[in-house]
């Protein structure tokens, strides 16, 4: 286990970074996953980025939802690109694949059956080069990538919280968000690598996605991880 996630454990063992992460703790504690993502995206100094990576590594291993894992992967990828560091880019690609796995498994808790495919496609459309990197690896390393993702998903399965962000991607849930009082629709600026602008729907305070009960959701998630996740990983990173 430690060998497979050497970078995560190395980050946790590193000396404490200069800048604290109290703001990340506050956002995480209030389950403001979008706030966490934005805060990590704005980590620009070396000290701040290292602190954010340490913080996110601990959260991912402790069962953070897919949005936090994806924010961690985004920061790893950005640093890897800036340093031209293949090991960081490879790790970012692995964690990105893990975030896809979480969307596929934890999305089984959503009543909107379009949510899983929609959220998986959103992630893949924004992170295509990372999956391409994994697909271009030698066969043995592709198998190892899938094994690492499967192992980490199994390890965090019982610790992961209900993930409403996945449900929000479903077609029916988008309609419900747009109808909710106080919802805002904000066009996002065009970022590097994007072909078109995206729209951010910020639902009003009364909106909650429709989800199965915790007991029902656990059963459905278990079925999803056993029956569908292996095929999804093989499709994305084939033998």
Question: Mind listing the pLDDT tens digit for each residue in 163-180?
Answer: 999 999 999 999 999 999
pLDDT for 2 equals 38
The angle subtended at Cα 154 by Cα 114 and Cα 137, nearest 5°, is 80
With contact defined as beta carbons under 8 Å apart, do 60 and 72 qualify?
Answer: yes
What are the Cα distances from residue 150, in Å, to 88, 94, 101, 153, 236? 20, 11, 8, 5, 13
Q: d(Cα 77, Cα 192) in Å, to the nearest integer?
A: 13
What are the Cα distances from residue 119, in Å, to 22, 28, 107, 238? 29, 21, 9, 21
Q: d(Cα 148, Cα 152) in Å, to the nearest integer?
A: 6
With contact defined as beta carbons under 8 Å apart, do 224 and 105 qualify?
Answer: yes
| Residue indicated by tokens 């909107």 | 112
pTM of the model: 0.89
- The domain locations on the chain are 6-163+213-236
pLDDT for 194 equals 60
pLDDT for 100 equals 98
| 113-138 tens-digit pLDDT | 999 999 999 999 999 999 999 999 99
pLDDT for 29 equals 94
Which ranges of the chain have pLDDT less than 70?
1-19, 191-197
């Amino acid at each position: 286990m430690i060998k497979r996630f050497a970078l995560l454990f190395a980050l946790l063992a590193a000396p404490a970074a200069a800048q604290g992460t109290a703001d990340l703790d506050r956002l995480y504690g209030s389950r403001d996953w979008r706030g966490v993502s934005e805060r990590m995206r704005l980590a620009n100094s070396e000290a701040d980025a290292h602190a954010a990576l340490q913080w996110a590594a601990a959260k991912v291993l402790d069962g953070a939802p897919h949005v936090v894992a994806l924010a961690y992967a985004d920061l790893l990828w950005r640093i890897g690109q800036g340093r031209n560091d293949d090991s960081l880019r490879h790790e970012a690609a692995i964690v990105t694949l893990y975030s896809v796995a979480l969307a596929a498994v934890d999305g089984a808790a959503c009543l909107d059956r379009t949510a899983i495919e929609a959220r998986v496609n959103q992630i893949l459309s924004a992170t295509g080069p990372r999956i391409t990197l994994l697909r271009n690896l030698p066969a043995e390393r592709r198998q190892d990538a899938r094994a690492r993702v499967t192992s980490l998903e199994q390890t965090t399965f019982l610790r992961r919280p209900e993930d409403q962000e996945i449900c929000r991607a479903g077609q029916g849930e988008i309609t419900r968000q747009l109808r909710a009082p106080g919802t805002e629709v904000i066009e996002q600026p065009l970022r590097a690598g994007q072909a078109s602008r995206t729209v951010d729907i910020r639902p009003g305070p009364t909106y909650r996605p429709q989800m199965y009960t915790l007991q029902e959701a656990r059963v459905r998630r278990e079925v999803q991880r056993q029956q569908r996740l292996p095929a999804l990983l093989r499709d994305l990173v084939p033998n």
